Structure 1
Amino acid sequence: MGRRRGSAAVAPILLVLTLLGLAALAVVLWPLLNARDTTELRRTTATVVESRPCGGNSPGDLVAVRVGGVERKARFDGCGHNRGQRLDVVVPRAPGADFVVRPADGATPQVDQLSSRVTWVLATVAAVAGGGYAVMLRLRRP
C-alpha cells in the first residue's frame, strides 16, 4: 500500500515539472517569434552629415547612405557622432520616403540576447528538477 501512495504523490510533481519545462520553452522561444526578419535588412556604411547632441528629445544624427545606387539622407538611431564619421548600419531593403537606419551591431537585439535567456532558463529548470528529484527520493524512503 505504501508504494501506491508514494507513486500517487509523484504524479503531481511530474506534472508541475512538465508544465515548468513548457513554460521555460515558451520564455526561450518568445523572442524568436517577435524578432524582426533580418532578411529585410541590408548592411551598408553611412556617413554622418549632421551630428545631434544626445538628450531626451534628440531625433538622432542625420546620415548619408547609399540605397539602390542613390545617396539618400536618413535619420540614424543614435546621436553624438562626429561629422564625417563612417558608421556600419542596417537599412531596410525597400525604404520609404522617411526611414531610419540603425547600428549594424544592434540590428537584432532580441536574438542576440537569446543565449543569455537560454542559460538562465535552463539553470532554473535544472534547479527545480533537482529539487523535484530530491522530493521524489525522500517520498520513496520507508
Structure 2
Amino acid sequence: MQLSDLTSKTSVQRWLQVGIPAAVGVLVVVLAWLAGPGLFGIAGTDSGAPVQAEVTKPAECSAGNPVESVTFSLGGKPREGTLNGCGHAKGERVEVGVPVDAPAEGPLTVSAADTSAGAQDSRGPIALVLLVFACFAGGTYAFLFIKGPGKLALLH
C-alpha cells in the first residue's frame, strides 16, 4: 500500500477543508471589527468634562442604589449635583464628570470621572486579539476533526 492510496483527497478538497474554517474565522473577525467596541460590552461612555467636587452628603455602600450629594464649580458658579456612588467621606474631594450639555440652573446628575483620564483603553484591541485566537483555534479544531485520525500507522 502506498502513501498516495491513503491520501486520496484532491488538493481542492484539502484547500476547502482549511479554507472554509479560515474564511469563516476572517468573516467573524471582520464583522466583530465593524460592530465596534459595543460588541464586547466596553462601549465608551462620555462622562463629561472632569471637575473637582466636594462630597456634601455621603452615602453608605450597603444601601441599594447609593447616591451622594456633591458641590462643584461650573463656569465660575457653585453648583450642586448627585453622584451615583458611595464610600466617600463628607468633605472629600472627588473628580466627577459633568455632562457637556448641562443646564445653566438646577441640580445636575454627575458621574465619576474616568480614573485613567488620557490613557488609551486597551480592552477593545485585547478582546479582538482574543477573538482572532479563538477563531484560529476553532478553525484548527475543525481541520483536525475533518481530517480524522492519522493513517500513517498502516504503512509498513
For the criterion TM > 0.5, the same-fold answer is yes
Instruction: Provide closer, same or farther for how the CA distance between residues 132 and 22 of structure 1 changes in structure 2, counting only shifts above 3 A.
Output: farther
Q: Distance in 2 between matches of 1:119 and 1:61?
A: 39
1:118 is matched with which residue: 111, 121, 128?
128
Q: Distance in 2 between matches of 1:115 and 1:15?
A: 21
Q: Which residue of 2 aligns with 1:78?
A: 85
Instruction: Provide closer, same or farther for how the CA distance between residues 57 and 93 of structure 1 changes in structure 2, counting only shifts above 3 A.
Output: closer
Preserved CA contact (<8 Å) 1:17 1:132: no
State the shift of 1:17 in Å.
2.4
Query: Mean Cα displacement is larger for which, 97-106 or 65-74?
Result: 97-106
Preserved CA contact (<8 Å) 1:53 1:80: yes
TM-score by length of structure 1 reads 0.68
- Which runs of no fewer than 5 residues in structure 2 stay unpaired? 1-8, 152-156
State the shift of 1:116 in Å.
4.4
Preserved CA contact (<8 Å) 1:48 1:83: yes
| Structure that is richer in helix per residue | 1
Partner letter of residue 131 of structure 2? Answer: V
Q: Quote the RMSD (CA, aligned, Å).
A: 3.6
Identity among equivalent pairs (%): 20
State the shift of 1:79 in Å.
1.6
User: Does 1:3 pair with 2:11?
Assistant: yes
Q: Deviations over 1:19-59 (max 9, x none)?
A: 23224425653369953346xx211100011112221143x
Query: Mean Cα displacement is larger for which, 116-125 or 67-76?
Result: 116-125
Q: Distance in 2 between matches of 1:103 and 1:63?
A: 11
Instruction: Provide closer, same or farther for how the CA distance between residues 123 and 13 of structure 1 changes in structure 2, counting only shifts above 3 A.
Output: closer
Secondary structure of 1:36 counterpart: coil
Preserved CA contact (<8 Å) 1:63 1:74: yes
Q: Which residue of 1 aligns with 2:28?
A: 20
Instruction: Provide closer, same or farther for how the CA distance between residues 48 and 107 of structure 1 changes in structure 2, counting only shifts above 3 A.
Output: same
